């Protein structure tokens, strides 16, 4: 029916009350043939933003909380057109298609997006949310992308704080990774770019600014602590010994005391605070 109607040159798609055209609804429903017909006729606005949800057709085709599986055929169809904006994010801290697919563990769609002009470093959220949700395959795909920034806001610190040992190992194998890079979350009552990621590390046992080692110490992740202590150049700038002692992680304290180079007197408070 759509093809028949489009044969009439006088037929022009008109947005509905939500500012959505046929291409938007077809993308959401996974009807790959319809976007192709519309775009062939140049009878669609490929980046049209819906009024209420602020989504483009590409975002409608991507996974979300209500639709677990993305429509890969539609995603590929839309990305074939140079006019498609693969990085559009609704609202101030909206989620890009790459974020949505990384969040929902759709590695094959992440790979498709990475091959099509996507900016992998927008808000640094795609890698962070994949780490938070422990989507190891997605993390691998993102790390293979040559322009990804592996140190901004320290994904390694985020993985260490979450206790994700396999991802910590992946990150440590990346050339140029900063083993002492600081991760951060927004303090309560402050505006946050990513509240869900902040909640991943915010607790009485993790400071607002934390290195991979100090985060692993405070959360009591012993295996990650040992792994980080084995890395060349690791330091105790943020006194992980004091933090581990304060939170009762006796085994980690013992490992730190055995680690060559640990400063047991930093700030003059380690033993007094811990015991």
* Residues 160 and 132 placed together within one structural domain of the fold: no
Confidence band (pLDDT; 50, 70, 90) for 220? confident
pLDDT at 190 over 80: no
Does 113 share its domain with 169?
no
More confident residue, 79 or 244: 79
Range of the domain at 58: 1-149
**Residue 259 pLDDT class (50, 70, 90 cuts):** low
Q: Quote the pTM value.
A: 0.76
What's the structural domain count of the chain?
A: 2
Q: What number is the average pLDDT over the span 111-121?
A: 92
| 228 and 257 both lie in a single domain | yes
Q: Give the residue-averaged pLDDT of 223-244.
A: 76
Looking at the fold, whether 89 and 22 belong to one and the same domain comes out as yes
At 53 the pLDDT is 82
How high is the mean pLDDT of the chain? Answer: 78
Contact 161, 219 (CB under 8 A): yes
- On whether residue 219 sits in a domain, the answer given is yes
Low-confidence winner among 90-99, 172-181, 209-218 (lowest mean pLDDT): 90-99
133 with 163, same domain: the answer is no
pLDDT of residue 125: 85
Q: Tell me how many degrees the CA angle 129-131-136 measures, rounded to the nearest 5.
A: 120
| pLDDT of 179 over the 90 cut | yes
Residue 120 pLDDT > 70, yes or no? yes
Do 134 and 158 fall within a single domain? no
Tokens of 255: 């490992």
Question: Which CATH number belongs to the domain containing residue 53 in this structure?
Answer: 1.25.40.20
177 and 41 within one domain:
no
Looking at residue 87, its pLDDT comes to 93
The pLDDT of 265-273, averaged and rounded, is 41
Residues 1 and 104 in one domain: yes
Residue 114 lies in a domain: yes
Helices first, then strands: H and E counts in the chain: 17, 2
Q: Are 23 and 50 in contact (CB under 8 A)?
A: no
- Does 101 lie in the same domain as 33? yes
């Amino acid at each position: 029916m759509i093809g028949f109607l489009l044969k009439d040159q006088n037929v022009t798609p008109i947005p509905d009350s939500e500012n959505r055209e046929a291409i938007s609804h077809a993308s959401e429903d996974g009807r790959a043939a319809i976007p192709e017909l519309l775009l062939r006729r140049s009878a669609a606005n490929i980046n049209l933003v819906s009024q209420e949800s602020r989504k483009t057709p590409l975002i409608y085709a991507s996974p979300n909380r209500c639709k677990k599986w993305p429509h890969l055929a539609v995603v590929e169809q839309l990305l074939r057109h140079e006019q498609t904006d693969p990085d559009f994010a609704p609202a101030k801290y909206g989620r890009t298609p790459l974020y949505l697919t990384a969040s929902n563990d759709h590695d094959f769609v992440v790979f498709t997006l990475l091959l099509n002009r996507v900016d992998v470093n927008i808000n640094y959220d795609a890698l962070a949310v994949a780490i938070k949700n422990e989507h190891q395959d997605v993390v691998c795909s993102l790390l293979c992308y040559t322009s990804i920034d592996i140190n901004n806001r320290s994904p390694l610190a985020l993985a260490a704080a979450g206790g994700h040992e396999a991802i910590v190992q992946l990150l440590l194998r990346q050339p140029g990774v900063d083993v002492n890079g600081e991760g951060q979350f927004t303090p309560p009552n402050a505006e946050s770019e990513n509240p869900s990621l902040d909640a991943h590390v915010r607790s009485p046992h993790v400071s607002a600014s934390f290195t991979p080692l100090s985060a692993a110490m405070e959360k009591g992740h012993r295996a990650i602590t040992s792994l980080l202590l084995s890395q060349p150049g690791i330091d105790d700038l943020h006194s992980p010994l004091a933090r581990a002692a304060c939170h009762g992680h006796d085994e980690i304290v013992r490992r730190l005391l055995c680690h060559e180079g640990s400063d047991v007197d930093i700030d003059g408070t380690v033993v007094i605070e811990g015991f």
